[in-house]
Amino acid sequence: MISLLTTFNSNHFIHSIVVIYLRDNHQSILYIYLQNSACIHQIHHLASSVLLLTYLSLSIAFGWNSILSIKMRAKVLIRFLPLIVATLFVVTSAGNFYQDFEITWGDGRAKILENGQSLSLSLDKASGSGFRSKYEYLFAKIDMQLKLVPGNSAGTVTTYYLSSLGPTHDEIDFEFLGNLSGDPYTLHTNVFTQGKGNREQQFHLWFDPTKDFHTYSILWNPQSIIFSVDGSPIREFKNLETKGVNFPKNQPMRIYSSLWDAENWATRGGLVKTDWSQAPFTATYRNFNAQVCVWTSSGSSCSSNKSPSSSSTQSWLSESLDSNGIAKVHWAQKNYMIYNYCTDTKRFPQGPPFECLA
Ligand SMILES: *[C@@H]1O[C@H](CO)[C@@H](O)[C@H](O)[C@H]1NC(C)=O
């Protein structure tokens, strides 16, 4: 039996403990394998599989020679296969919408187009639609180009976010709240840790997001979460665990996206309703680009759909904002921010949450 017992994170090193428990007629052996994550050490996942195999073979050849029969050794190898396969399939995870995503709802309203080069979501009175990533990630840098619902999009919400599951889930949100023709979309952002959100920041954009495709990015690594628009950072949520603020770093997340109706709150707080005579409403996605640590049964492995030989492949894992980035965030917040939970004294009369002060 092979089981992934636990994973833990210390000092930015991710370890998976895999326990192999063998039971023969008269003896049982408990073998613990400590796998340093490829993610942090930048060992390519393929290499780590090979290492694992070699290590195992050596152990069997020398260490367990007197204990294990040939049959048992073969069993060990066979039982390790799922692990190795799980690690290998990361290689093919980058590419187009067919490879990276699956449509989850909407009864045909979500469509992968142009051989997987783009995807469209639509919404009508009967239903919206949505998709999610096939894989789970533990840290990611994702870029997606979106062209939002044009014209009168009041009442509609287009979402694009990372989320784990369960009552104590983590979540990193982009939501685009539609508006009447000519009135600005609202870009809504939020960060949930351990099931708790309440960290909303909202922006207007410096362009019309329905005319052309624009790039919306989330960088999520152990130090920071950075939201960017067309490469310009608009918000950073730093890891302040040392000051007692939770940070998402133990639960793998998936990408989710949807187009749905939220006329009760989306536009001017629900005052402007959806005009169904304009339906169907359509938003389009293209050029998904990701540098990710894919989470599998064997732990976390990092890959990139940029050139694998690029030496800067994994620099995103330690990226945080430099002074130039901080200046850009200040620019966006000064000119385009329309709501900031940090300055909402009605909501936090006893003072803003700690991360706002740091
Ligand atoms: C819609 O337009 C109004 C008026 O310009 C603006 O106050 C609001 O923030 C815009 N966005 C939404 C989602 O209501």
Encode pLDDT of 175-229 as tens digits.
999 999 999 999 999 999 999 999 999 999 999 999 999 999 999 999 999 999 9
Give whole-number Cα distances, 194 to 96, 139, 157, 163, 251, in Å: 31, 16, 24, 11, 9
Contact yes or no for 37/16 (Cβ under 8 A): yes
Domains of the chain (ranges; CATH) run 2-92 (no CATH), 100-357 (2.60.120.200)
For residue 335, how far is its CA from the centre of ligand 1 (angstroms)?
A: 15
Q: Whose CA is nearest to atom 13 of ligand 1?
A: 267
Does the pLDDT at position 43 exceed 90? no
Q: Whose CA is nearest to atom 4 of ligand 1?
A: 183
The catalytic position among 136, 175, 263, 355 is 175
Mean pLDDT highest for which of 81-90, 104-113, 290-299? 104-113
Among 175, 268, 272, 337, which residue has the most ligand 1 atoms within 8 Å of its CB, making it the best to mutate? 268
Closest CA to 98 of 84, 110, 82: 110
Q: Give the lowest-confidence range in 36-50, 67-81, 111-125, 209-223.
A: 36-50
The minimum-distance atom of ligand 1 relative to the CA of 267 is: 14
Beta carbon of 119 within 6 Å of any ligand 1 atom: no
For residue 23, how far is its CA from the centre of ligand 1 (angstroms)?
A: 66
Residue 13 pairs with which residues in a beta bridge? 10
Q: What is the mean pLDDT of residues 96-110?
A: 97
Give first-to-last CA distance, the chain, whole Å.
47
The SS3 call for residue 350 is coil
The SS3 call for residue 289 is strand
The minimum-distance atom of ligand 1 relative to the CA of 202 is: 9
Read off the pLDDT band of 301 (50, 70, 90).
Answer: confident
For residue 182, how far is its CA from the centre of ligand 1 (angstroms)?
A: 10
The catalytic position among 102, 114, 136, 171 is 171
Does the pLDDT at position 164 exceed 50? yes
For residue 185, how far is its CA from the centre of ligand 1 (angstroms)?
A: 7
Beta carbon of 177 within 6 Å of any ligand 1 atom: yes
The minimum-distance atom of ligand 1 relative to the CA of 269 is: 14
136 part of the active site = no
Q: Could you tell me the pTM of the whole model?
A: 0.74
- Residue 318 has what pLDDT? 93
175 part of the active site = yes
Q: What is the mean pLDDT of residues 311-327?
A: 87
What CA–CA distance (Å, rounded) separates 98 from 116?
5
For residue 184, how far is its CA from the centre of ligand 1 (angstroms)?
A: 6
Q: What is the mean pLDDT of residues 230-249?
A: 97
Does the pLDDT at position 20 exceed 60? no
Amino acid identity for residue 255 in this structure: I
- Residue 19 has what pLDDT? 32
